[in-house]
Chains A and B, each alone.
Chain A
Amino acid sequence: MPINDEARVGFYICHCGHNIANMVDVTSVAEYAAKLPNVVLSRDYKYMCSDPGQEMILKDAEVFKLNRIVVASCSPLLHENTFRNATAKAGINQFYFQMVNIRENASWVHEDKELATVKAKDLVRAAISRVVFHKALEKKKVPVNPDVLIVGGGISGISAALNIANAGKKVYLVEKDPTIGGYMAKFDKTFPTLDCAACILTPKMSAVLKHPGITLMSYSEVAAVEGYVGNYQVKVTRKPRYIIEEKCVGCFACIDACIFKEAKFSDEFNEGLSKRKPVYIPFPQATPQVVLIDDKTCIHFKTGKCPQSCAKACDRNAFDFDQKPVTQELEVGTILLCTGFQPFDAARAPYYGYGRYPNVYTSLEVERLVNASGPTGGNVVLRDKTRPKSIGIIHCVGSRDEKTNKWCSRVCCMYSLKLAHLLKEHTDAEIYNFYIDMRTPGKGYEEFYDKLLNEGVHFIRGRVAEVSDWAINEHEKGKLVIRAEDTLIGMVRRIPVDMVVLAVGIEPGKDAQDIRRVFNISCSNEGFFLERHPKLAPVETFTDGIFIAGACQGPKDIPDSVAQAGAAAAQALALIDSGFVELEPNTAFINEELCCGCQVCINLCPYHAITFDETKSVSHINEAICKGCGTCVAACGSGAITQNLFEDQQILSEIYGLLVE
C-alpha cells in the first residue's frame, strides 16, 4: 500500500443509527482500519454528523496531531461539506479530507452482512490510500450576480417573482405562452375555500406586469444557458407576436376587424370548447394585455393575400407582420424553474371513451364550462346544448395505474370534489364520484369532503372499468353507461349518465426533458424535476444556483406551489445576499513544459474553457469556466493536464487500495 510518511490519518466510521450498523460490522471495520498504514487513530461513532461527532474530530486532531481525516458514512452529497468544515475547524486544510459512502454503496444495497463488511473495508482502504496524497487547496470565491431568472409564469413563477422583486432584486420572468397565469387562470373557483380564482390571481398577474423590478418576457423561451452558480449567461428567444408589444393597448379593435367574420379556430385557452380568430388574446385579463397573430391560421401568412383589415383597424400602428424571432442575452446569478405540468391526455385511456363519445369531458374542459368567463358564460350545457341531468366524475384517470402513470396526482380528488360541488350548483344534476381512495390531506380538505357528502353527491368506491353507450334497458338508452364495482357493497353497478368528467392526472410538462438538458439538472423516473433531497432540500437541484418550485417538481396544488415558490425565492435571496459563492477547486490546469500545442483538448472541452496561447504555443485553461469534468485530462496525449483532487497519483493509489489488501 502506498505510504506517505508525513500523513497522519484519523479514521471515523459512522453507524448512522441502524442504517449502516445493521448491515456493516462497524467495529470490525474500525479495527481493520486502525491497522492500515498511516492511520494513527480509528473510531466508530453513532452519528458522525452530530455536533459531538464533529467535536470529536476537532479534539482528536489536536491530541493526535492528525493531518488527514477520513469518514466512512453516508453520501458525500449529504455531508461532505459538514465534514470538510469540521476538518477545516480542526486546523487542517479541508481538502485533506476524504469521505467514503458505505451507506448507499454498502449497507443499503446488500443483504449479506459479512460481504457488506468486506466491501466497506475495501472502500475504506481505497480512501485511506488516496487521502495521504491529497494536496492542500483553496476554494475560489466569485461574486454572485444579484439578478434572477424565473422560467414559467404560472402561480409558482408569479409568486416567486413577486417575492424576489419585493426584496429589491431584479427579476426576468420568461413565459412560453402569450400570457402568464398557468393553469390557475383557467379555473373558476379553487378548493377548498372556493374562492374565485380570477379574483386572487389577476391582481398578482398585474402586479407582476407593473413591478419595476420585474421584466416580463412572455411568448418567449430559454434557448441556452452557460456559466455557473452566481454567473449564468442566458439566451432567451422571443417568439414573434406580429404586434409591437409596447404599442398595443389591448383595445381588441383588430380582432373585430379581422377578415374572418366568425371565429373559426380552436381556442386553446378554452380547451377547444370555443373558437377564436387568427388575431386574438387568450382571455380578457391576459397579461400582458397584448394581442397576437397565429401565423398558422392567418390568411396573410398562408397566402399573402389578406387586406390586413386588422392592422388597418389599429389606430396605434402596433402591427408588424415582418417580426422574426429575436434572441436576447441575459446575465443572472440564480435561476428558478417553475414550468409546471401538463394534464394527462385522456385519449390514452380509451376505455373511458374520450374523443369517441362527445359527452365525455376532461376536468379541464369542465373547469372552463363552469367558469363565468368561459365559452358558455358558466352555463353548463353539453355539446348539443342540453343541460345534463346526471353526471359521473371519474377519479384517477392516468394516475395510480401501471399502464399510464403510477403516481397519485394529488390534486384530482380535491378538484373532483370542487367540480362536483360546482356542477351540482350549476345544474342540480345527480352527481356520482367514482374514486379508488379519497385523498384529502390538507388543511380544510377533509372538511370540504364532509360538506360534499352532505350535499347529496353520490360517492362510489370503485375504479371505473368502462364508459360505453351499450344500453341494456330503457333507462340506459341514449346515455353513457358507467360500469364500476361498488367495492364497499361488493356489487357491480351500471350507472347511466348524461355527462362524464374525467379527472385527468398531472404529468411532467411536455418539454420537461428539453428544459432539463438546457439547465443541466436531473429528472426523477417519472420525469418531474429532481430535487436535491426529497425532504431536506425540496427546492434545490444538483446544479448550484438552480431552484425548482411548483408542479414541475411533482404533482402539487396551489397552496403547496405557492409555498415552494416562497422557499425557492428565499433560497435564491440567501445566495444573493451571501454576496459570493465558493467554487470547488477541482479544475484542470496545463503544465506548459509538457504541452506540445496539439490543441486536441480545445475542441473536446464541453464548456469552451480552453484557448490557445499563440505566443507560447501552448493551450491554456480558464479556471473560471472549467467545470472539472476531466475530459481534457484523459485526452491529452502528452500527459500535460492535471486536475486538482484527481491527480494521477491520487487515483492510482485509490485503485491500488481498492484492489490490494
Chain B
Amino acid sequence: MNASSSDILTQGLTVKLEADLDKNFGETIAREAHGEKLFGCIQCGNCSAACPLSVWMDYTPRKVIAMVRAGFKQEVLSNRTVWLCASCYQCTVECPKGIKITDVMYALKREAIENKVYPKNFPVPILARTFFNEVKRTGRINEIFLLTIYYLRYNIFKMLGYASLGMKLFMKRRLSLFEKGMSDKKEFKAMLNQ
C-alpha cells in the first residue's frame, strides 16, 4: 500500500461520530453571544453571502453556525473563519432570523483564546491580545507602540514592510511617539482589577 492511499483512509474524512461532539458547545456559545436565537438558524446562507470576508474563510459563517449548534467544537475553534471576521456587522443586520452572528464570532474568538486552540502564530489573536494588554496598562492606545509590540511578537520581518509607511507618516507629523495618556489611571485600574 502506498502512502497516499493510507492517507485517504485517515485524513479529511467526511464523517463525524456522535461521541466526538461537544454537546454543550452550542448552549455555551449561545449564552456567551447574548441569546439562544442561534438555534433558530434556518441555514439560508444570507450571512455568508453578505460577509465581505467569507470568500477567504475555510467555513462560511452559515456553516460555522451549524457546526456550533451541532457541537463541532474542535473544528470551529481551530479554523480561521472566526479570525477573519472583521466585525462589520453586515451578517447581523441581514440575518432573517435576527441572529447576532458577529457576537457569535466574538464569543468564538474568546472561547478559542481561552482554550488556546486558535491557528498557531495567527496574527489576529496576537494583535487583539497586544491591544488588550496595552489598554489595561495605559488606559489608552498609542498606535505606534501597539504596532511595534505586535510585530515584535508576531513577525519582526513583517514590520520592515511597514517601516517606510511609518516613516512617511512620521515625517508628515501624523504619528507621534509620545501621546498624552490618561491624567489619572488609579480609578481606571481599580475598576479593571476587580
Contact = CB atoms under 8 A, between A and B. Distances in A.
Interface of A: 351, 396, 400-403, 436-437, 461-466, 483-487, 490-492
Interface string B76-98: 00000000000000000010111
Given A466-B50, A485-B60, A490-B63, A402 B45 contact: no
Contacts, number: 60
Interface string B29-55: 000000000000011111011110011
A351 B94 contact: yes
Q: Which 8 residue pairs spanning A and B have beta carbons closest together?
A: A485-B45, A465-B49, A463-B44, A485-B48, A401-B96, A465-B50, A462-B45, A487-B45
B73 interface: no
B62 interface: yes
B159 to A, nearest CB: 32
A492 B44 contact: no
Given A487-B44, A487-B45, A492-B55, A463 B63 contact: no
22 contacts: A396-B96, A400-B42, A401-B96, A436-B44, A461-B45, A462-B46, A463-B49, A464-B46, A465-B46, A465-B94, A483-B49, A483-B50, A484-B45, A484-B49, A485-B49, A485-B62, A486-B45, A487-B44, A490-B59, A491-B60, A492-B48, A492-B49
B46 A402 contact: no
B94 A490 contact: no
A528 B175 CA distance: 61
B43 A487 contact: yes
Interface residues of B, number: 19
Chain A residues touching B, majority SS:
loop
B51 to A, nearest CB: 8
A464 B49 contact: yes
B60 A492 contact: yes
A463 B97 contact: no
Interface of B: 42-46, 48-51, 54-55, 59-60, 62-63, 94, 96-98
Contacts of B51: 492
A403 B62 contact: no
A396 B97 CA distance: 13
Given A463-B96, A490-B59, 9 more contacts: A396-B96, A401-B96, A403-B98, A436-B44, A462-B46, A462-B48, A483-B50, A485-B54, A487-B43
Nearest to A494: B49
Nearest to A493: B49
Contacts of B44: 436, 462-463, 487
Contacts of A351: 94
B35 to A, nearest CB: 12
A352 to B, nearest CB: 11
B55 A463 contact: no
Contacts of B43: 487
A492 B48 CA distance: 7
A400 B43 CA distance: 12
A461 B43 CA distance: 9
A492 B61 CA distance: 11
Contacts of B97: 402
B123 to A, nearest CB: 24
Contacts of A461: 45
| Interface core residue of B45, B51, B55 (most chain A CB under 10 Å) | B45
Contacts of B55: 492
Contact of A462 (B49, B59, B63, B98): B49
A526 B167 CA distance: 61
Contacts of B60: 485, 490-492
| Interface core residue of B46, B55, B60, B94 (most chain A CB under 10 Å) | B46
B42 to A, nearest CB: 6
Nearest to B48: A485
A437 B49 contact: no
A337 B40 CA distance: 35
A477 B98 CA distance: 33
Given A463-B44, A483-B49, A490-B63, A400 B94 contact: no
A350 to B, nearest CB: 11
A484 B44 CA distance: 9
A400 B40 CA distance: 12
A636 to B, nearest CB: 51
B64 to A, nearest CB: 11
A482 to B, nearest CB: 9
A464 B50 CA distance: 8
Contacts of A463: 44-46, 49, 96
Contacts of B45: 461-463, 484-487
B50 A400 contact: no
